[in-house]
Amino acid sequence: MRLTTLCYVEKDQCYLMLHRIKKDQDENAGKWIGIGGHVEEDESPEECVRREAMEEAGMELNDLRLRGVITFILPDWGNELTFLYTARAETESLPECAEGVLRWVPIAEIPRLKLWEGDRVFLPLLQTREDCFSLKLIYAPGGKLIDSVLS
């Protein structure tokens, strides 16, 4: 199972979103997601998310907070355990990103974006829950969400 991180950086009622449109062979192609990536050997999830924020968005994270652990069952790409974070940032300008286009998106507008179906399950939890939750998202081949289990 792959270990990954995902972070939704907040500023002025917006989340920093990455529109994944630049990489070949991208399981997230065309979708909008937060920033993050694969945990490297000898790296903690927190070290990973801070490194990825610097690499993808050129930013240091403030108020980094673990919000959830998500188990993704993905027959097309392999299963993944993702550490979900929120953070704040002071940065306004965004650099070019090799994986897509970075944009500050008002939180209220995010449901209108092209998202993974499972993201529509956990993104509202970032606004309504203060605890650290566990969520299992089960996808069918082709990327359709078939079940979610929240605990």
> Quick check: 21 and 29 in contact, CB under 8 A?
yes
3.40.630.30, 3.90.79.10, 3.40.50.150, 3.30.70.260: CATH of 2-150:
3.90.79.10
Q: What is the CA radius of gyration of the chain?
A: 14
Q: How confident is the model at residue 130 (pLDDT cuts 50, 70, 90)?
A: very high
What is the rounded average pLDDT for all residues in the chain?
94
Question: Could you state, in order of their start, the residue ranges of all structural domains in the chain?
Answer: 2-150
Given this model, what pLDDT does residue 98 score? 87
In 3D, which of 131, 140, 80, 27 has the Cα closest to residue 150?
A: 131
pLDDT in tens, 85-126: 999 988 777 888 888 999 999 999 999 999 999 999 999 999
The per-residue b/e assignment along 114-129, b for 16 or more CB within 10 angstroms, e otherwise, is eebebbebbbeebeee
- DSSP 3-state of 115: coil
pTM for this model (two decimals): 0.94
pLDDT at site 105: 97
Distance from C-alpha of 88 to C-alpha of 120, rounded to nearest angstrom: 21
Contacts of 67 (CB under 8 A, 6+ apart): 84, 85, 86, 125, 126, 129, 132, 133
Percent of the chain having pLDDT more than 90?
Answer: 82
The structure tokens listed for 39 are 């945990």
The DSSP code for 94 is -
Nearest alpha carbon to residue 89 among 71, 73, 75, 102: 102
Answer whether 133's CB lies under 8 Å from 150's CB. yes
